[in-house]
């Protein structure tokens, strides 16, 4: 099991094959993804490779503001750091920078990111409820969710009931996305399909 990388979502486009077929892809950019340290079975009880995203100068200035016990740990800045589960024989040396050629064309990867925030959403948008009737006595409340509980029995609304509320900003993992192209010079990885998160606003995603 090899280490993953931390990338930034640039946006979506499409590429054409030799037969003229177009493939929708998401462009992911690597920005100085460097290995910070290792987590070993002897010292930590598990095997992980810790990596961080960002320019080296930005990392140095950020580490100066961190407490010494957490300095160099990806948990000190979850938005830029991450730990990847790897095999003991696949650990990358500390200080090495992971390039786009870490992945090969045709490889399948899992991409984890934070979905786009939608704010407060109703039951129809959030849970795909059908809403109430358009006529037959229903007025104004066509998009309401209807009854949320029983009458005398049970006489309450159960916990975890699907109701209107905050939608988005969830941790989502998209499985088995195929790597279509890689560009080592520009640090770009093109994966087939869509990945969670907004584009070009600093959102990060992890590719194990």
Res 108: pLDDT: 95
Boundaries of domain holding 13: 5-117+168-207
Verify that 44 and 145 share a domain, yes or no. Answer: no
CA 171 – CA 149 distance, rounded (Å): 30
Residue 132's pLDDT is 94
User: Which of 31-40, 69-78, 88-97, 162-171 has the largest mean confidence?
Assistant: 162-171
Give Cβ neighbours of residue 20 (< 8 Å, ≥ 6 apart): none
Q: Are residues 65 and 105 in the same domain?
A: yes
Can you tell me whether residue 115 is helix, strand or coil?
Answer: coil
Among 46-50, 142-146, 195-199, name the one with the lowest average pLDDT: 46-50
Q: Give the pLDDT of residue 30.
A: 87
Is 37 exposed, middle or buried (CB count within 10 Å of its CB: 0-12, 13-18, 19+)? middle
Which runs of E-coded beta strand occur in the chain?
A: 5-16, 22-30, 34-39, 48-52, 81-85, 108-114, 119-121, 165-167, 171-183, 188-192, 204-207
Q: Give the pLDDT of residue 205.
A: 64
* pLDDT at residue 133 in the model: 94
CATH number for 92 = 2.40.30.10
pLDDT at 200: 64
Count of structural domains, the chain: 2
**Within 13 Å and on the Cβ side, how many CA atoms surround 35?**
21
């Amino acid at each position: 099991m090899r280490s993953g990388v931390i990338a930034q979502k640039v946006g979506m486009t499409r590429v054409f094959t030799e037969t003229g077929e177009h493939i929708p892809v998401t462009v992911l950019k690597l920005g100085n993804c460097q290995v910070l340290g290792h987590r070993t079975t002897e010292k930590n009880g598990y095997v992980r490779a810790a990596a961080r995203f960002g320019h080296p100068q930005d990392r140095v200035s950020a580490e100066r503001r961190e407490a010494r016990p957490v300095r160099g740990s990806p948990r000190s800045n979850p938005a830029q750091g991450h730990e990847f589960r790897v095999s003991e024989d696949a650990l990358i040396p500390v200080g090495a920078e992971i390039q786009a050629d870490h992945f090969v064309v045709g490889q399948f990867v899992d991409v984890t990111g934070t979905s786009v925030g939608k704010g407060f959403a109703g039951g129809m948008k959030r849970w795909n409820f059908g809403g109430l009737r358009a006529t037959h006595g229903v007025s104004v409340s066509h998009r309401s969710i209807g009854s949320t509980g029983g009458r005398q029995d049970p006489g309450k609304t159960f916990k975890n009931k699907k109701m209107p509320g905050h939608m988005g900003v969830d941790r989502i993992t998209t499985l088995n996305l195929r790597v279509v192209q890689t560009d080592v010079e520009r640090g770009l990885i093109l994966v087939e399909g869509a990945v969670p998160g907004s584009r070009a606003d600093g959102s990060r995603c992890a590719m194990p």
